[in-house]
């Protein structure tokens, strides 16, 4: 009996929240895993679970969409230069190509994107199967710098860069760039830390200027370098640790 009690106590200590377990299995980030749970797509020991507070331990069998998942021991951190026309999602109801499909032949692990780029934008996005890493980088408190080059269809309004740095309110939402620099009459360099949905596009729409090309060239300490559109590479251990050090939060 004492041995069984000790095993039960150890199992309880090893138990983690279901969404964290899913993230560590490479299913999706914690936040995305919560949505999957609430949608009734997850079962534990054969029973569908929709409670976010559910905990699972080493002896539990967890399945997503009928397929059992397991902890992935090898952590992957992949940098992709996403071409325009791809959506940042593991699947798309409209049948549009997904960015993750560009990695499938090279990696057997289930990798998911950290943050997003809209379908019409291109540039850097990180994929991983490390849920803790993804949670730290994607949490708003991380204030991770992301740098963009924006080519416009018309000459830039004279004060757009200055206004963007001061802050612009569009339809009740406040947008402010960490840096904004006019490189020429139709090219703007922008650094953001908040990452609000379609932030740059909404600001340009507010000024009545169309965007010909929007490319993300840097995430934190990781730049685009010579990575061509559609190409990808593993992040180095130094780059991964550097990204984590740049996270200004800590609570996620």
Residues taking part in catalysis? 118
How far apart are alpha carbons 18 and 33 in whole angstroms?
8
Angle, CA of 54, 56 and 61, to the nearest 5°: 120
Other beta carbons within 10 Å of 36: 18
Identify the sign of the CA torsion 13, 15, 19, 22. positive
Strand stretches in the chain, DSSP E: 16-17, 42-44, 47-48, 55-56, 62-64, 67-68, 77-82, 112-114, 122-128, 146-152, 168-170, 173-175, 179-184, 187-192, 211-219, 222-223, 232-234
Q: Which of 216, 154, 211 is nearest to 186 (CA)?
A: 154
């Amino acid at each position: 009996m004492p041995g069984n009690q000790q095993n039960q106590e150890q199992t309880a200590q090893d138990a983690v929240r279901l969404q964290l377990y899913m993230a560590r299995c490479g299913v999706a980030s914690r936040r995305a895993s919560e949505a999957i749970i609430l949608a009734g797509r997850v079962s534990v020991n054969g029973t569908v679970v929709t409670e976010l507070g559910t905990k699972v331990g080493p002896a539990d069998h967890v399945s997503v969409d009928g397929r059992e998942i397991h902890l992935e021991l090898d952590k992957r951190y992949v940098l992709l230069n996403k071409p325009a026309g791809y959506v940042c999602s593991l699947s798309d109801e409209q049948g549009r190509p997904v960015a993750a499909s560009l990695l499938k032949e090279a990696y057997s692990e289930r990798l998911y994107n950290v943050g997003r780029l809209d379908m019409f934008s291109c540039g850097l996005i990180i994929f991983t199967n490390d849920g803790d890493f993804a949670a730290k980088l994607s949490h708003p408190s991380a204030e991770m710098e992301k740098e963009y080059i924006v080519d416009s269809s018309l000459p830039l309004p004279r004060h757009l860069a200055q206004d963007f740095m001061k802050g612009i309110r569009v339809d009740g939402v406040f947008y402010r760039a960490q840096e904004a620099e006019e490189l020429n009459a139709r090219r703007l360099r922008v650094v953001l830390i908040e990452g609000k949905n379609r932030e740059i596009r909404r600001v340009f729409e507010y000024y009545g200027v169309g965007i010909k090309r929007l490319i993300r060239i840097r995430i934190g300490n990781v730049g685009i370098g010579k990575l061509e559109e559609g190409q990808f590479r593993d992040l180095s251990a130094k780059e991964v640790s550097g990204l984590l050090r740049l996270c200004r939060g800590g609570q996620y």
